């Protein structure tokens, strides 16, 4: 039996791991639990995969599950022994781990369930129920932000109030406090979150109207951010992983995956037609009438892009558009589809936009040392000489092919969480 020290809630304790002669820690057994006596310091008996039994100096034996969510270490209480047996504790741990695999915080899920069971239609009850459902499709970081704003700014004032009795002036008073601190953007975010909770209450029959709608123009306008984009490599990796976990339609998921690889304008992506692609040559040729600058444009396709297009071809290849509308194959997906998908994944409009994939690629490729002329040509930015522009759609094509493949490989590495050392390319070294 191995014994180590530690700290629990500011109280020193001992950690006990059952270790046979071979040296590998064993899982807990019922005899070990029964035979462990209380001491003057708390003891931790570890079972594995985050589960342990806390034996207090007073003789209490509490099951705990230690886990990480949103980058923070948390503890979930699973009951007391022997009321909750070793087998039951393991089952509860496994249920919690299943929630974590689906990006759901077990502690918040339990809190929402308890409030729902209580039968009270308070603002906090409805908010937790709404949050429990929505957080299943959000990234953990966004979930943490949403619940923190509710718990910090809203629940203390109106959390216990019946949601159908809350008035617009009451909600405004909460937002005015945030505004007075100078956090205008946060005030707008909190108003938006509350509006979503009220609309959920209306949909579930617990409220008749959304008072946040009456506050239009009541707050100081927040400064809009132009073409929001994620350019920090570590955050780009998180975005790519969120896209991989997207729970929407396969067509939208493929569009999301191609957006960072191709970094074309959102309208160009959603209007893509199968007849414009030559997958054997790894090229997408966009006709002039579809381009903002009215000049034809060639997109070299990386191996990853070709693979995605071949994957979606059996589904939409018999139609005109690569990404057709969900309602009819005769029209492309709507201009709000990608934006809505980003919001559903938890990326607000001030953090990432559909156009932001272009800024992401431009920023990082420039930082990596790729020649500006090649990047600008790939972005299809306007050539000042309009006569030259009519003939330069294939300009730098060999170099652009190399850059697009290197960019796709770089994104793959970021998605996998690798430590990336950017490749600084010299203009003469392509």
User: Token pair 């991989």 is at which residue?
Assistant: 244
First to last CA, the chain: 61
Q: Which of 44, 90, 142, 355 is catalytic?
A: 355
What does DSSP assign to residue 320?
S
Q: Which of 12, 34, 388, 391 is catalytic?
A: 391
What does DSSP assign to residue 44?
E
314: helix, strand or coil = helix
260: its two tokens: 């960072």
Q: Which of 17, 358, 393, 415 is catalytic?
A: 358
Q: Which of 13, 149, 265, 396 is catalytic?
A: 265
Report phi then psi at 98, rounded to 5: -65, -40
**Quick check: is 355 catalytic?**
yes
- Tell me the residue length of the chain: 430
Give the residue from 306, 266, 307, 313 showing the smallest Cα distance to 284.
306
User: Token pair 């007391």 is at which residue?
Assistant: 80
Q: Which of 68, 160, 349, 381 is catalytic?
A: 381
- Cα 224 to chain centroid distance, Å, stands at 22
Determine contact, residues 125/105, Cβ cutoff 8 Å.
no
**Quick check: is 149 catalytic?**
no
- Provide the edge-to-edge strand list for the sheet that holds 283-286: 277-278, 283-286, 297-300
Distance between CA atoms of residues 111 and 132, nearest Å: 9
Distance between CA atoms of residues 161 and 21, nearest Å: 60
**Quick check: is 265 catalytic?**
yes
**Quick check: is 292 catalytic?**
yes
61-69 vs 72-80, strand pairing mode: antiparallel
Cα angle for residues 54, 55, 56 (degrees, 5° grid): 110
**Quick check: is 344 catalytic?**
no
**Quick check: is 72 catalytic?**
no
The catalytic residue positions are: 265, 292, 355, 358, 381, 391
């Amino acid at each position: 039996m191995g014994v180590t020290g530690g700290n629990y809630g500011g109280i020193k304790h001992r950690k006990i791991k059952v270790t046979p002669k071979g040296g590998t820690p064993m899982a807990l057994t019922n005899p070990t639990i029964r035979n462990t006596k209380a001491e003057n310091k708390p003891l931790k008996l570890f079972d594995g995969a985050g589960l342990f039994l806390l034996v207090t100096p007073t003789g209490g034996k509490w099951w705990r599950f230690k886990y990480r969510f949103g980058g923070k270490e948390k503890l979930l209480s699973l009951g007391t022994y022997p009321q909750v047996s070793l087998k039951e504790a393991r089952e509860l741990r496994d249920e919690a781990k299943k929630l974590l695999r689906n990006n759901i915080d077990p502690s918040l899920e339990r809190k929402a369930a308890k409030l729902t069971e209580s039968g009270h239609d308070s603002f906090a009850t409805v908010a937790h129920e709404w949050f429990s459902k929505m957080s299943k499709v959000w990234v953990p970081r966004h979930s943490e932000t949403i619940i923190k704003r509710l718990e910090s700014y809203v629940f203390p004032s109106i959390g216990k109030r019946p949601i159908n009795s809350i008035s617009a002036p009451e909600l405004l008073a909460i937002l005015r406090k945030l505004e007075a601190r100078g956090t205008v953007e946060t005030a707008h975010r909190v108003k938006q979150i509350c509006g979503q909770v009220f609309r959920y209450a209306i949909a579930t029959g617990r409220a008749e109207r959304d008072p946040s709608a009456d506050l239009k123009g009541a707050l100081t306008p927040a400064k809009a951010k132009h073409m929001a984009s994620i350019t920090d490599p570590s955050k780009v990796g998180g975005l790519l992983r969120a896209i991989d976990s997207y729970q929407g339609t396969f067509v939208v998921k493929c569009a999301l995956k191609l957006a960072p690889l191709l970094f074309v304008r959102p309208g160009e992506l959603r209007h893509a037609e199968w007849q414009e692609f030559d997958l054997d040559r790894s090229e997408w040729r966009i006709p002039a009438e579809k381009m903002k600058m009215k000049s034809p444009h060639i997109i070299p396709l990386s191996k990853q892009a070709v693979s995605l297009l071949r994957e979606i071809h059996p589904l939409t290849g018999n139609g005109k558009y690569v990404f057709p509308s969900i309602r009819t194959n005769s029209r492309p997906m709507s201009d709000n589809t990608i934006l809505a998908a980003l919001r559903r994944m938890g990326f607000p409009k001030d953090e990432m936009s559909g156009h932001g994939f272009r800024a992401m690629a431009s920023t990082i490729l420039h930082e990596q040392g790729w020649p500006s002329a090649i990047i600008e040509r790939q972005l299809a930015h306007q050539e000042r000489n309009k006569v030259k522009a009519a003939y330069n759609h294939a300009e730098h094509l060999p170099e652009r092919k190399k850059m697009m493949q290197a960019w796709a490989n770089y994104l793959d590495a970021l998605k996998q969480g690798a430590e990336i050392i950017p490749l600084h390319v010299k203009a003469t070294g392509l």
